[in-house]
Structure formats: structure tokens, C-alpha cells
């Protein structure tokens, strides 16, 4: 969703980015992270291959934030996510704010990569995201 936001920001009223992998270059350059080395089979190793580094940098959402009019963005991350560290969406949101966007960052304090546990908690989270989508689309029950 981060790449979509950079490539075609005017095509969307809003973007929901749930546990977004928006700083892949920084993550894949750190072999101490749990998934990095095994991901090199799929992505290539940017530490050893300048072409892989350049290609990843060309589409990395964080690296390609630029001063355009971004749509509304809801970035949802989890403090205990070991797959996509919460710092990635936090950095992305900060960089978006630097160029004038106004994204909303929601950090789940007790969830992991798959979101909150429990049926009712999951329903509350889904309702939050759905309400945000309805608002971003401009569909208000009051007709305003």
C-alpha cells in the first residue's frame, strides 16, 4: 500500500496499510532480523548485489515519499510484531508528515503480526478500520 500511495496518490480517497512493510530496504539490509536472510532467496541480497539494492530502493515506500498530495492514510501496526517491526510504519508516517501528508498511525500495544487476539477485540479493530474507510470515502450517516 505504501508503493501505491507513492505511485498513484490521486487515485484513492484513503489507504489502509495494515502492518505495512514500507521500509524493506532497511530491514533486508539487517541480517540480524529474524526473516532477513531467508528472504534473500526471494528478494536477492542488497548487501552483495548493487542491482538488487538499486531495484529495492526504486520502489521502497519509505525511500520514495515525495511532496505530493497524498490521500488519507491509516497505518496500523503492532508493537509485538516480529515480522514487520513497528518502527517501519512509524518512520513512514513521520516521513509522510514531513511532506505535508496527515496519516493516522494506530499502534496495537498487545498484538502481533496477525492483529489482536480474541473475537471481540478483532471485531472492534475491524469496525475501527471500516469506520475509517467510510469516513475517508466521504460517506457520513448524517449526510454531511
**DSSP state letters, 65-114:** --SS-PPEEEEEEETT-SSS-THHHHHHHHHHHHTT---EEEEESS-BTT
Burial class, 103, CB count within 10 angstroms (exposed 0-12 / middle 13-18 / buried 19+): buried
In this prediction, residue 37 carries a pLDDT of: 80
In this prediction, residue 117 carries a pLDDT of: 60
Q: Which residues of the chain have pLDDT under 50?
A: none
**pTM to 2 decimals?**
0.84
Cell numbers for 37, please give them.
536472510
Instruction: Give dist(CA 20, CA 133) in Å, integer.
Output: 17
What value does the CA radius of gyration of the chain take, rounded to a whole number of Å?
16
Residue spans of the domains in the chain: they are 2-23+60-136
Residues 8-31 pLDDT 10s: 999 999 999 988 889 988 888 888
Report the CATH number of the 2-23+60-136 domain: 3.40.50.1820
Cell numbers for 58, please give them.
526504486
In this prediction, residue 116 carries a pLDDT of: 61
Residue found under cell 528478494: 43
Helix (H) or strand (E) holding 16: strand 14-18
Instruction: Give dist(CA 76, CA 18) in Å, integer.
Output: 5
Amino acid at each position: 500500500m505504501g508503493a501505491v500511495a507513492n505511485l498513484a496518490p490521486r487515485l484513492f480517497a484513503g489507504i489502509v496499510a495494515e502492518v505495512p512493510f514500507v521500509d524493506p530496504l532497511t530491514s533486508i539490509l539487517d541480517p540480524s532480523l529474524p526473516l532477513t536472510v531467508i528472504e534473500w532467496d526471494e528478494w536477492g541480497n542488497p548487501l552483495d548485489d548493487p542491482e538488487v539494492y538499486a531495484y529495492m530502493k526504486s520502489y521502497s515506500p519509505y525511500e520514495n515519499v515525495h511532496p505530493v498530495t497524498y490521500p488519507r492514510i491509516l497505518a496500523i501496526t503492532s508493537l509485538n510484531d516480529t515480522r514487520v517491526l513497528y518502527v517501519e510504519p512509524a518512520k513512514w508516517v513521520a516521513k509522510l508528515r514531513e511532506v505535508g501528508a496527515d496519516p493516522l498511525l494506530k499502534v496495537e500495544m498487545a498484538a502481533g503480526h496477525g492483529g489482536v487476539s480474541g473475537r471481540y477485540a478483532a471485531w472492534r479493530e475491524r469496525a475501527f478500520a471500516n469506520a475509517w474507510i467510510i469516513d475517508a470515502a466521504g460517506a457520513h450517516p448524517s449526510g454531511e
